Protein backbone atom coordinates (compact mmCIF):
# COMPACT_ATOMS: atom_id res chain seq x y z
CA UNK A 1 0.00 0.00 0.00
CA UNK A 2 1.28 3.43 -0.95
CA UNK A 3 1.43 5.83 1.99
CA UNK A 4 2.67 9.34 1.52
CA UNK A 5 3.51 10.73 4.93
CA UNK A 6 5.66 9.13 7.57
CA UNK A 7 3.10 9.81 10.28
CA UNK A 8 0.33 8.07 8.32
CA UNK A 9 2.65 5.27 7.27
CA UNK A 10 3.67 4.52 10.86
CA UNK A 11 0.05 4.61 11.98
CA UNK A 12 -1.18 2.16 9.35
CA UNK A 13 1.79 -0.17 9.68
CA UNK A 14 1.20 -0.27 13.43
CA UNK A 15 -2.49 -1.05 12.86
CA UNK A 16 -1.62 -3.79 10.40
CA UNK A 17 0.83 -5.34 12.83
CA UNK A 18 -1.80 -5.43 15.55
CA UNK A 19 -4.29 -6.88 13.05
CA UNK A 20 -2.01 -9.78 12.19
CA UNK A 21 -1.81 -10.60 15.85
CA UNK A 22 -5.59 -10.60 16.21
CA UNK A 23 -6.37 -12.48 13.02
CA UNK A 24 -7.39 -15.64 14.84
CA UNK A 25 -9.67 -13.94 17.37
CA UNK A 26 -13.44 -14.47 17.25
CA UNK A 27 -14.03 -10.74 16.79
CA UNK A 28 -12.11 -10.88 13.52
CA UNK A 29 -14.43 -13.35 11.78
CA UNK A 30 -15.79 -10.91 9.20
CA UNK A 31 -13.91 -8.12 7.48
CA UNK A 32 -16.76 -5.70 8.13
CA UNK A 33 -15.45 -5.26 11.67
CA UNK A 34 -11.97 -3.83 12.05
CA UNK A 35 -10.45 -4.28 15.54
CA UNK A 36 -7.69 -1.89 14.54
CA UNK A 37 -9.95 1.16 14.24
CA UNK A 38 -8.18 3.70 16.44
CA UNK A 39 -9.76 4.84 19.66
CA UNK A 40 -6.86 6.58 21.37
CA UNK A 41 -7.65 10.19 22.15
CA UNK A 42 -4.32 11.28 20.71
CA UNK A 43 -5.29 10.02 17.25
CA UNK A 44 -6.92 12.80 15.21
CA UNK A 45 -8.90 13.02 12.02
CA UNK A 46 -5.85 14.63 10.42
CA UNK A 47 -3.99 11.36 10.99
CA UNK A 48 -6.73 8.94 9.95
CA UNK A 49 -8.22 10.61 6.87
CA UNK A 50 -5.13 10.38 4.60
CA UNK A 51 -4.78 6.67 5.28
CA UNK A 52 -8.44 6.05 4.39
CA UNK A 53 -7.96 8.01 1.17
CA UNK A 54 -4.90 6.02 0.18
CA UNK A 55 -6.70 2.72 0.81
CA UNK A 56 -9.30 3.78 -1.74
CA UNK A 57 -6.71 5.15 -4.14
CA UNK A 58 -4.70 1.93 -3.94
CA UNK A 59 -7.53 -0.36 -4.99
CA UNK A 60 -9.66 1.92 -7.14
CA UNK A 61 -6.60 3.26 -8.95
CA UNK A 62 -4.93 -0.12 -9.45
CA UNK A 63 -6.94 -3.35 -9.20
CA UNK A 64 -10.28 -1.88 -10.25
CA UNK A 65 -8.76 0.28 -12.96
CA UNK A 66 -6.98 -2.76 -14.39
CA UNK A 67 -9.93 -5.16 -14.23
CA UNK A 68 -12.35 -2.54 -15.52
CA UNK A 69 -9.88 -1.74 -18.28
CA UNK A 70 -9.85 -5.37 -19.41
CA UNK A 71 -13.63 -5.75 -19.22
CA UNK A 72 -14.13 -2.48 -21.14
CA UNK A 73 -11.57 -3.74 -23.70
CA UNK A 74 -8.99 -1.02 -23.18
CA UNK A 75 -6.33 -3.62 -22.33
CA UNK A 76 -5.15 -6.99 -23.59
CA UNK A 77 -2.59 -9.35 -22.09
CA UNK A 78 1.09 -8.80 -22.79
CA UNK A 79 3.00 -11.25 -24.97
CA UNK A 80 4.44 -14.20 -23.04
CA UNK A 81 2.72 -13.49 -19.72
CA UNK A 82 -0.51 -14.78 -18.19
CA UNK A 83 -1.07 -12.64 -15.09
CA UNK A 84 -4.30 -11.10 -16.35
CA UNK A 85 -5.33 -13.55 -19.05
CA UNK A 86 -8.44 -14.41 -17.04
CA UNK A 87 -9.52 -10.76 -17.09
CA UNK A 88 -8.84 -10.56 -20.82
CA UNK A 89 -11.22 -13.52 -21.23
CA UNK A 90 -13.93 -11.92 -19.04
CA UNK A 91 -13.33 -14.03 -15.96
CA UNK A 92 -13.22 -12.97 -12.31
CA UNK A 93 -12.69 -15.54 -9.58
CA UNK A 94 -13.95 -15.25 -6.01
CA UNK A 95 -10.39 -14.95 -4.73
CA UNK A 96 -9.15 -12.27 -7.15
CA UNK A 97 -11.14 -9.41 -5.61
CA UNK A 98 -10.95 -10.53 -1.98
CA UNK A 99 -8.09 -8.24 -0.98
CA UNK A 100 -9.73 -5.21 -2.53
CA UNK A 101 -13.07 -5.99 -0.87
CA UNK A 102 -11.43 -6.60 2.50
CA UNK A 103 -9.29 -3.49 2.50
CA UNK A 104 -12.04 -1.20 1.26
CA UNK A 105 -14.02 -2.22 4.34
CA UNK A 106 -11.16 -2.41 6.82
CA UNK A 107 -8.85 0.41 5.81
CA UNK A 108 -11.27 2.73 4.01
CA UNK A 109 -14.82 2.42 5.38
CA UNK A 110 -13.82 1.69 8.97
CA UNK A 111 -11.39 4.59 9.07
CA UNK A 112 -13.89 6.90 7.36
CA UNK A 113 -16.43 5.98 10.03
CA UNK A 114 -13.82 6.81 12.65
CA UNK A 115 -13.18 10.18 11.01
CA UNK A 116 -16.89 10.93 10.73
CA UNK A 117 -17.61 9.94 14.34
CA UNK A 118 -14.78 12.07 15.70
CA UNK A 119 -15.69 15.04 13.50
CA UNK A 120 -19.39 14.80 14.42
CA UNK A 121 -18.54 14.86 18.11
CA UNK A 122 -16.64 18.11 17.68
CA UNK A 123 -19.11 19.72 15.25
CA UNK A 124 -16.59 19.65 12.38
CA UNK A 125 -19.15 19.33 9.57
CA UNK A 126 -16.67 19.98 6.77
CA UNK A 127 -14.76 16.87 7.78
CA UNK A 128 -18.00 14.91 8.25
CA UNK A 129 -18.93 15.82 4.68
CA UNK A 130 -15.54 14.73 3.33
CA UNK A 131 -15.69 11.37 5.11
CA UNK A 132 -19.31 10.80 4.13
CA UNK A 133 -18.61 11.58 0.48
CA UNK A 134 -15.75 9.10 0.31
CA UNK A 135 -17.89 6.57 2.20
CA UNK A 136 -20.68 6.99 -0.38
CA UNK A 137 -18.15 6.71 -3.20
CA UNK A 138 -16.73 3.47 -1.77
CA UNK A 139 -20.14 1.87 -1.31
CA UNK A 140 -21.07 2.90 -4.86
CA UNK A 141 -17.99 1.09 -6.13
CA UNK A 142 -18.73 -2.03 -4.07
CA UNK A 143 -22.32 -2.21 -5.33
CA UNK A 144 -21.16 -1.76 -8.89
CA UNK A 145 -18.81 -4.72 -8.46
CA UNK A 146 -20.98 -7.18 -6.54
CA UNK A 147 -24.58 -6.01 -6.81
CA UNK A 148 -25.27 -6.61 -3.11
CA UNK A 149 -22.96 -5.83 -0.18
CA UNK A 150 -23.21 -5.39 3.61
CA UNK A 151 -24.38 -1.85 4.35
CA UNK A 152 -27.02 -1.39 7.05
CA UNK A 153 -25.33 -3.93 9.36
CA UNK A 154 -21.76 -3.31 8.24
CA UNK A 155 -19.06 -1.76 10.45
CA UNK A 156 -20.94 -2.79 13.58
CA UNK A 157 -18.59 -4.69 15.94
CA UNK A 158 -21.55 -6.49 17.51
CA UNK A 159 -22.63 -8.04 14.19
CA UNK A 160 -20.10 -10.62 13.08
CA UNK A 161 -22.05 -11.81 10.03
CA UNK A 162 -23.81 -8.79 8.52
CA UNK A 163 -26.53 -9.30 5.97
CA UNK A 164 -25.96 -8.22 2.39
CA UNK A 165 -28.23 -5.40 1.25
CA UNK A 166 -29.63 -5.14 -2.26
CA UNK A 167 -27.82 -2.62 -4.43
CA UNK A 168 -30.81 -0.29 -4.66
CA UNK A 169 -31.05 -0.20 -0.86
CA UNK A 170 -27.39 0.77 -0.60
CA UNK A 171 -27.72 3.44 -3.27
CA UNK A 172 -30.75 4.92 -1.52
CA UNK A 173 -28.90 4.83 1.79
CA UNK A 174 -25.79 6.63 0.60
CA UNK A 175 -27.93 9.25 -1.15
CA UNK A 176 -29.73 9.90 2.14
CA UNK A 177 -26.38 10.17 3.92
CA UNK A 178 -25.12 12.70 1.37
CA UNK A 179 -28.30 14.76 1.52
CA UNK A 180 -28.23 14.88 5.31
CA UNK A 181 -24.66 16.13 5.58
CA UNK A 182 -24.94 18.51 2.61
CA UNK A 183 -27.86 20.22 4.37
CA UNK A 184 -25.66 20.85 7.43
CA UNK A 185 -22.39 21.97 5.83
CA UNK A 186 -21.35 25.54 5.15
CA UNK A 187 -19.24 25.85 1.98
CA UNK A 188 -16.71 27.86 3.95
CA UNK A 189 -16.27 25.17 6.61
CA UNK A 190 -12.80 23.78 7.12
CA UNK A 191 -11.84 20.15 6.43
CA UNK A 192 -9.24 18.00 8.13
CA UNK A 193 -5.93 17.15 6.44
CA UNK A 194 -6.58 15.29 3.19
CA UNK A 195 -4.97 14.57 -0.17
CA UNK A 196 -7.96 15.15 -2.45
CA UNK A 197 -8.54 18.84 -1.77
CA UNK A 198 -5.60 19.94 0.39
CA UNK A 199 -6.01 23.29 2.10
CA UNK A 200 -9.44 23.83 0.53
CA UNK A 201 -12.77 24.50 2.22
CA UNK A 202 -15.82 22.26 2.25
CA UNK A 203 -17.02 23.90 -0.97
CA UNK A 204 -14.83 21.57 -3.04
CA UNK A 205 -16.22 18.55 -1.22
CA UNK A 206 -19.77 19.84 -1.72
CA UNK A 207 -19.23 19.97 -5.47
CA UNK A 208 -17.70 16.48 -5.47
CA UNK A 209 -20.62 15.15 -3.41
CA UNK A 210 -23.10 16.60 -5.89
CA UNK A 211 -21.25 15.12 -8.88
CA UNK A 212 -21.30 11.77 -7.09
CA UNK A 213 -25.03 12.17 -6.47
CA UNK A 214 -25.51 12.81 -10.18
CA UNK A 215 -23.64 9.60 -11.04
CA UNK A 216 -25.66 7.58 -8.52
CA UNK A 217 -29.02 9.00 -9.59
CA UNK A 218 -28.31 8.56 -13.29
CA UNK A 219 -27.39 4.92 -12.65
CA UNK A 220 -30.70 4.52 -10.83
CA UNK A 221 -32.72 6.36 -13.47
CA UNK A 222 -33.55 3.33 -15.63
CA UNK A 223 -34.97 1.33 -12.74
CA UNK A 224 -36.32 3.93 -10.30
CA UNK A 225 -38.24 7.20 -10.59
CA UNK A 226 -35.61 9.74 -9.60
CA UNK A 227 -36.53 12.50 -12.04
CA UNK A 228 -37.49 15.00 -9.33
CA UNK A 229 -34.25 14.40 -7.42
CA UNK A 230 -32.25 14.76 -10.62
CA UNK A 231 -34.07 17.92 -11.64
CA UNK A 232 -33.41 19.55 -8.28
CA UNK A 233 -29.73 18.60 -8.44
CA UNK A 234 -29.25 19.73 -12.04
CA UNK A 235 -31.00 23.04 -11.38
CA UNK A 236 -28.40 23.83 -8.72
CA UNK A 237 -25.60 23.33 -11.25
CA UNK A 238 -23.04 23.17 -8.45
CA UNK A 239 -20.62 20.63 -9.91
CA UNK A 240 -16.81 20.52 -9.99
CA UNK A 241 -15.09 22.67 -12.61
CA UNK A 242 -11.97 20.50 -12.50
CA UNK A 243 -11.52 16.74 -12.50
CA UNK A 244 -11.74 15.17 -9.03
CA UNK A 245 -8.48 13.23 -8.81
CA UNK A 246 -5.78 12.31 -6.38
CA UNK A 247 -2.89 14.16 -8.00
CA UNK A 248 0.19 16.12 -6.95
CA UNK A 249 0.64 13.72 -4.06
CA UNK A 250 2.92 11.17 -5.70
CA UNK A 251 6.71 11.10 -5.86
CA UNK A 252 9.18 9.00 -7.84
CA UNK A 253 10.25 7.01 -4.81
CA UNK A 254 9.39 3.55 -3.54
CA UNK A 255 6.00 3.49 -1.75
CA UNK A 256 5.15 6.99 -2.97
CA UNK A 257 4.37 6.32 -6.63
CA UNK A 258 0.86 6.26 -8.04
CA UNK A 259 -0.76 2.82 -7.54
CA UNK A 260 -1.09 1.70 -11.18
CA UNK A 261 2.47 2.73 -11.96
CA UNK A 262 3.78 0.93 -8.88
CA UNK A 263 1.96 -2.26 -9.83
CA UNK A 264 2.77 -2.40 -13.52
CA UNK A 265 5.35 0.12 -14.65
CA UNK A 266 7.85 0.81 -11.87
CA UNK A 267 11.43 -0.41 -12.34
CA UNK A 268 11.59 -4.17 -11.91
CA UNK A 269 7.88 -4.75 -12.42
CA UNK A 270 6.63 -7.07 -15.15
CA UNK A 271 4.51 -5.09 -17.60
CA UNK A 272 1.35 -7.03 -18.36
CA UNK A 273 -0.81 -4.40 -20.04
CA UNK A 274 -0.97 -3.65 -23.74
CA UNK A 275 -3.59 -1.74 -25.68
CA UNK A 276 -6.67 -3.56 -26.93
CA UNK A 277 -7.48 -3.32 -30.63
CA UNK A 278 -11.05 -2.22 -29.78
CA UNK A 279 -10.01 1.15 -28.38
CA UNK A 280 -7.04 1.65 -30.73
CA UNK A 281 -8.99 0.82 -33.89
CA UNK A 282 -11.82 3.07 -32.76
CA UNK A 283 -9.55 6.06 -32.15
CA UNK A 284 -7.48 5.42 -35.27
CA UNK A 285 -9.89 5.45 -38.20
CA UNK A 286 -8.92 3.84 -41.52
CA UNK A 287 -10.32 4.49 -44.98
CA UNK A 288 -11.58 1.87 -47.44
CA UNK A 289 -8.00 1.20 -48.53
CA UNK A 290 -6.88 0.52 -44.98
CA UNK A 291 -4.93 3.77 -44.64
CA UNK A 292 -5.21 5.85 -41.48
CA UNK A 293 -7.62 8.69 -42.22
CA UNK A 294 -8.00 10.16 -38.74
CA UNK A 295 -6.31 9.72 -35.38
CA UNK A 296 -7.97 10.97 -32.23
CA UNK A 297 -5.32 13.18 -30.54
CA UNK A 298 -6.08 11.57 -27.18
CA UNK A 299 -4.71 8.23 -28.44
CA UNK A 300 -1.12 9.47 -28.06
CA UNK A 301 -1.90 10.51 -24.47
CA UNK A 302 -3.52 7.20 -23.55
CA UNK A 303 -0.93 4.91 -25.13
CA UNK A 304 2.71 4.92 -26.20
CA UNK A 305 3.48 3.83 -29.77
CA UNK A 306 5.25 0.53 -30.41
CA UNK A 307 8.93 0.35 -31.29
CA UNK A 308 8.08 1.13 -34.92
CA UNK A 309 6.25 4.30 -33.93
CA UNK A 310 2.82 2.83 -34.69
CA UNK A 311 -0.33 2.24 -32.66
CA UNK A 312 -1.25 -1.42 -32.70
CA UNK A 313 -3.85 -2.99 -30.42
CA UNK A 314 -3.83 -6.63 -29.38
CA UNK A 315 -6.69 -9.13 -29.10
CA UNK A 316 -8.26 -9.98 -25.79
CA UNK A 317 -7.66 -13.59 -24.81
CA UNK A 318 -5.05 -14.31 -27.47
CA UNK A 319 -2.03 -16.42 -26.59
CA UNK A 320 0.98 -15.36 -28.61
CA UNK A 321 3.49 -17.70 -27.00
CA UNK A 322 4.27 -19.47 -30.31
CA UNK A 323 4.49 -16.39 -32.51
CA UNK A 324 7.65 -14.91 -33.95
CA UNK A 325 5.87 -11.77 -35.12
CA UNK A 326 3.53 -10.43 -32.44
CA UNK A 327 6.06 -10.16 -29.65
CA UNK A 328 6.17 -7.73 -26.76
CA UNK A 329 7.41 -4.86 -28.92
CA UNK A 330 4.63 -5.15 -31.51
CA UNK A 331 1.82 -3.71 -29.35
CA UNK A 332 1.51 -0.26 -27.86
CA UNK A 333 1.27 0.08 -24.09
CA UNK A 334 -0.56 2.40 -21.70
CA UNK A 335 1.15 5.71 -21.08
CA UNK A 336 1.46 5.69 -17.28
CA UNK A 337 3.87 7.71 -15.15
CA UNK A 338 4.78 7.65 -11.46
CA UNK A 339 2.54 10.71 -10.94
CA UNK A 340 -0.48 9.15 -12.67
CA UNK A 341 -3.62 10.70 -11.10
CA UNK A 342 -6.21 8.43 -9.55
CA UNK A 343 -9.42 9.73 -11.09
CA UNK A 344 -12.64 9.61 -9.06
CA UNK A 345 -14.93 11.61 -11.34
CA UNK A 346 -14.14 13.96 -14.20
CA UNK A 347 -15.79 17.04 -15.62
CA UNK A 348 -16.31 15.07 -18.83
CA UNK A 349 -18.21 12.33 -16.96
CA UNK A 350 -20.44 14.89 -15.30
CA UNK A 351 -21.18 16.55 -18.63
CA UNK A 352 -22.01 13.19 -20.22
CA UNK A 353 -24.43 12.48 -17.36
CA UNK A 354 -26.00 15.89 -17.90
CA UNK A 355 -26.32 15.18 -21.62
CA UNK A 356 -28.11 11.94 -20.79
CA UNK A 357 -30.34 13.72 -18.27
CA UNK A 358 -31.51 16.22 -20.89
CA UNK A 359 -31.94 13.47 -23.48
CA UNK A 360 -34.28 11.67 -21.06
CA UNK A 361 -36.11 14.54 -19.43
CA UNK A 362 -35.31 17.76 -21.29
CA UNK A 363 -34.49 19.10 -24.73
CA UNK A 364 -32.35 17.63 -27.48
CA UNK A 365 -30.53 20.95 -27.85
CA UNK A 366 -29.49 20.97 -24.19
CA UNK A 367 -28.41 17.36 -24.48
CA UNK A 368 -26.29 18.20 -27.53
CA UNK A 369 -24.71 21.15 -25.73
CA UNK A 370 -23.66 19.02 -22.77
CA UNK A 371 -22.45 16.24 -25.09
CA UNK A 372 -20.20 18.78 -26.79
CA UNK A 373 -19.08 20.14 -23.42
CA UNK A 374 -18.20 16.60 -22.31
CA UNK A 375 -16.04 15.96 -25.36
CA UNK A 376 -14.36 19.34 -24.99
CA UNK A 377 -13.69 18.66 -21.31
CA UNK A 378 -12.14 15.30 -22.15
CA UNK A 379 -9.77 16.85 -24.70
CA UNK A 380 -8.90 19.62 -22.24
CA UNK A 381 -8.17 17.13 -19.44
CA UNK A 382 -5.75 15.28 -21.71
CA UNK A 383 -4.07 18.53 -22.76
CA UNK A 384 -4.81 18.20 -26.48
CA UNK A 385 -6.82 20.10 -29.07
CA UNK A 386 -9.10 18.67 -31.72
CA UNK A 387 -12.50 18.40 -30.01
CA UNK A 388 -14.15 20.24 -32.90
CA UNK A 389 -13.01 17.66 -35.43
CA UNK A 390 -14.10 14.80 -33.19
CA UNK A 391 -17.54 16.38 -32.81
CA UNK A 392 -17.80 16.93 -36.56
CA UNK A 393 -17.05 13.25 -37.11
CA UNK A 394 -19.24 12.11 -34.22
CA UNK A 395 -22.15 14.55 -33.92
CA UNK A 396 -24.76 14.18 -31.23
CA UNK A 397 -27.77 12.06 -32.20
CA UNK A 398 -30.66 12.42 -29.78
CA UNK A 399 -32.59 9.55 -31.35
CA UNK A 400 -29.70 7.24 -30.43
CA UNK A 401 -28.40 9.07 -27.38
CA UNK A 402 -27.38 5.96 -25.45
CA UNK A 403 -25.10 4.83 -28.25
CA UNK A 404 -23.81 8.31 -28.98
CA UNK A 405 -23.04 9.11 -25.35
CA UNK A 406 -21.93 5.57 -24.52
CA UNK A 407 -19.24 5.34 -27.20
CA UNK A 408 -17.97 8.88 -26.61
CA UNK A 409 -17.80 8.30 -22.85
CA UNK A 410 -16.00 4.99 -23.39
CA UNK A 411 -13.34 6.79 -25.41
CA UNK A 412 -13.08 9.65 -22.90
CA UNK A 413 -12.49 7.29 -19.96
CA UNK A 414 -9.89 5.12 -21.72
CA UNK A 415 -6.90 6.96 -20.28
CA UNK A 416 -8.08 7.43 -16.74
CA UNK A 417 -10.86 5.25 -15.38
CA UNK A 418 -11.40 1.74 -16.67
CA UNK A 419 -13.69 0.83 -13.79
CA UNK A 420 -16.29 3.52 -14.47
CA UNK A 421 -16.05 2.72 -18.18
CA UNK A 422 -16.96 -0.92 -17.45
CA UNK A 423 -19.91 0.31 -15.36
CA UNK A 424 -21.19 2.62 -18.06
CA UNK A 425 -20.80 0.06 -20.84
CA UNK A 426 -22.89 -2.35 -18.76
CA UNK A 427 -25.52 0.29 -18.03
CA UNK A 428 -25.85 2.02 -21.39
CA UNK A 429 -25.26 -1.05 -23.51
CA UNK A 430 -22.67 0.77 -25.62
CA UNK A 431 -20.23 0.09 -27.08
CA UNK A 432 -22.25 -2.95 -28.12
CA UNK A 433 -20.80 -6.19 -29.42
CA UNK A 434 -20.12 -6.25 -33.14
CA UNK A 435 -20.49 -9.24 -35.42
CA UNK A 436 -16.77 -10.07 -35.50
CA UNK A 437 -15.15 -12.07 -32.71
CA UNK A 438 -11.60 -12.24 -31.44
CA UNK A 439 -11.03 -15.52 -33.25
CA UNK A 440 -11.78 -13.71 -36.53
CA UNK A 441 -8.78 -11.43 -35.98
CA UNK A 442 -6.06 -13.93 -35.18
CA UNK A 443 -5.39 -17.47 -36.32
CA UNK A 444 -2.74 -18.97 -34.08
CA UNK A 445 -2.18 -21.90 -36.44
CA UNK A 446 -0.74 -19.74 -39.22
CA UNK A 447 0.16 -16.70 -37.10
CA UNK A 448 -2.00 -14.35 -39.17
CA UNK A 449 -3.43 -11.13 -37.80
CA UNK A 450 -6.25 -9.28 -39.58
CA UNK A 451 -8.61 -6.80 -37.92
CA UNK A 452 -10.34 -5.56 -41.09
CA UNK A 453 -13.66 -7.05 -39.92
CA UNK A 454 -13.61 -5.02 -36.70
CA UNK A 455 -16.22 -2.23 -36.65
CA UNK A 456 -15.00 0.88 -34.75
CA UNK A 457 -16.90 1.63 -31.57
CA UNK A 458 -17.82 -1.99 -30.81
CA UNK A 459 -16.72 -4.73 -28.45
CA UNK A 460 -15.90 -8.30 -29.46
CA UNK A 461 -15.89 -11.72 -27.82
CA UNK A 462 -12.37 -12.50 -26.56
CA UNK A 463 -10.52 -15.57 -27.74
CA UNK A 464 -11.26 -18.45 -25.32
CA UNK A 465 -13.87 -16.35 -23.53
CA UNK A 466 -14.84 -17.58 -20.06
CA UNK A 467 -17.53 -20.20 -20.61
CA UNK A 468 -19.92 -18.86 -17.94
CA UNK A 469 -20.00 -15.52 -19.77
CA UNK A 470 -20.01 -16.76 -23.36
CA UNK A 471 -20.14 -15.02 -26.71
CA UNK A 472 -21.31 -11.44 -27.18
CA UNK A 473 -21.79 -10.80 -23.48
CA UNK A 474 -19.95 -8.74 -20.91
CA UNK A 475 -19.01 -9.91 -17.44
CA UNK A 476 -21.86 -8.32 -15.48
CA UNK A 477 -20.63 -8.60 -11.87
CA UNK A 478 -17.94 -10.03 -9.63
CA UNK A 479 -18.63 -13.20 -7.65
CA UNK A 480 -18.87 -12.56 -3.93
CA UNK A 481 -15.35 -12.39 -2.50
CA UNK A 482 -13.87 -15.47 -0.94
CA UNK A 483 -12.78 -13.56 2.18
CA UNK A 484 -16.41 -12.82 2.99
CA UNK A 485 -18.09 -16.01 1.80
CA UNK A 486 -15.71 -18.12 3.90
CA UNK A 487 -16.52 -16.17 7.08
CA UNK A 488 -20.02 -14.78 6.69
CA UNK A 489 -22.90 -17.24 6.66
CA UNK A 490 -25.21 -14.53 5.30
CA UNK A 491 -23.49 -14.19 1.95
CA UNK A 492 -26.24 -14.71 -0.65
CA UNK A 493 -26.08 -17.22 -3.47
CA UNK A 494 -24.16 -15.91 -6.47
CA UNK A 495 -26.72 -15.23 -9.23
CA UNK A 496 -24.28 -15.72 -12.09
CA UNK A 497 -21.66 -13.87 -14.08
CA UNK A 498 -24.09 -12.47 -16.65
CA UNK A 499 -26.85 -11.37 -14.24
CA UNK A 500 -26.70 -7.56 -14.19
CA UNK A 501 -26.47 -5.46 -11.05
CA UNK A 502 -29.71 -3.66 -10.26
CA UNK A 503 -29.11 -0.51 -12.35
CA UNK A 504 -28.54 -2.52 -15.53
CA UNK A 505 -31.54 -4.84 -15.21
Contact assessment for residue 489 and residue 206, using Cβ atoms and an 8 Å cutoff: no
Residue 31 scores a pLDDT above 60: no
Pairing of strands 342-345, 244-246: antiparallel
Residues near 222 by Cβ (< 8 Å), separated by ≥ 6?
427, 503, 504
Residue 68 scores a pLDDT above 80: yes
pLDDT tens for 232-247 read 999 999 999 999 999 9
The total of structural domains in the chain comes to 1
269 belongs to a structural domain: yes
Question: What confidence tier does 26 reach under pLDDT thresholds 50, 70, 90?
Answer: very low
367 belongs to a structural domain: no
467 belongs to a structural domain: yes
Residue 28 scores a pLDDT above 80: no
pTM across the whole model? 0.92
Among 75-89, 94-108, 185-199, 300-314, the least confident range: 75-89
- Give the Cα separation of 101 and 385 in Å (integer): 39
363 belongs to a structural domain: no
Structural domain boundaries enclosing 27: 1-35+49-276+462-505
11 belongs to a structural domain: yes
pLDDT mean over 355-376 = 98
pLDDT tens for 251-264 read 999 889 999 999 99
Three-state DSSP class for 321?
A: coil
The pLDDT value recorded for residue 288 is 86
- Give the Cα separation of 138 and 116 in Å (integer): 15
Residue 181 CA: distances (Å) to CA of 190, 210, 302, 399: 14, 12, 37, 38
The pLDDT value recorded for residue 40 is 63
479 belongs to a structural domain: yes
**CATH number of residue 500's parent domain:** 1.25.40.390
359 belongs to a structural domain: no
Regarding predicted confidence, which is higher, 126 or 160? 126
End-to-end CA distance of the chain: 35
300 belongs to a structural domain: no
- Give the Cα separation of 466 and 421 in Å (integer): 20
pLDDT mean over 412-434 = 98
pLDDT tens for 179-189 read 999 999 999 99
Amino acid sequence: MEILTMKTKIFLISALTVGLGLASCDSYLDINYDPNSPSDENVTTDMVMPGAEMAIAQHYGDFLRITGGYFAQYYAQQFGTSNYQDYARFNMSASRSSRTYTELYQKALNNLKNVSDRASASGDMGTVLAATTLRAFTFQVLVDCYGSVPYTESLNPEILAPHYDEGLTVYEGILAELDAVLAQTDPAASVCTNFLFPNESADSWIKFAKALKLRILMRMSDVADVQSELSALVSEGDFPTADVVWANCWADEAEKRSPLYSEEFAPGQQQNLVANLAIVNTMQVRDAMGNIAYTDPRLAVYFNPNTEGNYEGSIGGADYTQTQVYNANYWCRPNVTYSEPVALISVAETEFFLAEYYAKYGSASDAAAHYAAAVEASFASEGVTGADEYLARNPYDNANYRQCIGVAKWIALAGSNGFEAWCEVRRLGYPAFGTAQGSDFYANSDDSFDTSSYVPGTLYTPIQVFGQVGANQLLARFPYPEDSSSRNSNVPDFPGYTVPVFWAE
